[in-house]
Each structure stands twice: as structure tokens, then as C-alpha cells.
């Protein structure tokens, strides 16, 4: 299993950019996919939205609302995950969470979450 810690959130004017980081510690080899989710104001935890994901072999996918604006990538050692956010809009305002999914040594699945980082984009 892994532990996740986000950083890089903040307040930015609409049209601006931010880069979020997620430090990953633990058994990195157990991870199959890393992702960024977001929880918009007034939404429940169960309503978190998948923003972008990257698999262990490098395949990526994005929510339609962020395609061509956001980019998910990892460093070469895979102990850091990033989300480059460009052309931010007011509707991107949310708490952004780092997420990891994988398998434990006994093959049972796990899901890990960070505590989140706040992103606010003013209109």
C-alpha cells in the first residue's frame, strides 16, 4: 500500500495555471493506477469526480471537462505524481485529491487517498 500527500493548491485568476504535486511513499510496485479526483463545493465525498488518471504503463485518460487543459504525469521513479492545470476556469474550483489503486502482497485490492489540496479559480 502507499501513502499520498498533495501540495500546490492555491487561488488563481481564471485563465491562469497551477501545478499540483502528490508525494507517493510506500510500496510503489504495488500501484496499478494513479489519479487525481476533485470534490466541488457542496458535493459529497461519494460525488468526487475523476479528473485524470495514469496507469502503470503510462496510459492516460481525462475527464471531458479538462481535456486539452490539464496534463497528468509522473516523475521517472514514480514517487511523485503531478497535475498541470492550464486555462483554469471558475468551475475548476474544488478540493483535489491524489488517488492510488493497486494490489497488496496477498493480491487483495487497495485504494489510497491523500488529504486533498484546495484549488480556487476566480472568475
User: How many Å apart are CA 81 and CA 9, to the nearest integer?
Assistant: 14
**Beta-sheet pairing, 60-62 with 10-13:** unpaired
For the stretch 60-69, pLDDT in tens is: 999 999 999 9
For the stretch 27-86, pLDDT in tens is: 888 899 999 999 999 999 999 999 999 999 999 999 999 999 999 999 988 899 999 999
User: Which DSSP letter does residue 64 get?
Assistant: T
Beta bridge partners of 18: 85
Question: Looking at residue 107, what is its pLDDT?
Answer: 87
Q: Please provide the DSSP assignment of 68-98 as one string.
A: TTEEEEE-TTSSEEEEEE-S--GGG-EEEEE
How far is residue 46 CA from its own chain's centroid?
Answer: 16
- What b-and-e string marks burial along 1-34, b requiring 16 or more CB atoms within 10 Å of the CB? ebebebebbeebeeeeebebbbebeeeeebbebb
Question: Looking at residue 78, what is its pLDDT?
Answer: 87
State the DSSP H helix or E strand holding residue 62, giving kind and residue range, or none if neither. strand 60-62
Amino acid at each position: 500500500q502507499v501513502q499520498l500527500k498533495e501540495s500546490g493548491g492555491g487561488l488563481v485568476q481564471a485563465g491562469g495555471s497551477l501545478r499540483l504535486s502528490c508525494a507517493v511513499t510506500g510500496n510503489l510496485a504495488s500501484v496499478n493506477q494513479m489519479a487525481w479526483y476533485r470534490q466541488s463545493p457542496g458535493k459529497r465525498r461519494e460525488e468526487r469526480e475523476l479528473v485524470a488518471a495514469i496507469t502503470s504503463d503510462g496510459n492516460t485518460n481525462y475527464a471531458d471537462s479538462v481535456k486539452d487543459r490539464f496534463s497528468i504525469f509522473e516523475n521517472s521513479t514514480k514517487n511523485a505524481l503531478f497535475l498541470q492545470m492550464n486555462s483554469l476556469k471558475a468551475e475548476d474550483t474544488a478540493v483535489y485529491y491524489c488517488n492510488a489503486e493497486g494490489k497488496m502482497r496477498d493480491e487483495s485490492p487497495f485504494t489510497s487517498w491523500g488529504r486533498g489540496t484546495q484549488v480556487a479559480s476566480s472568475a
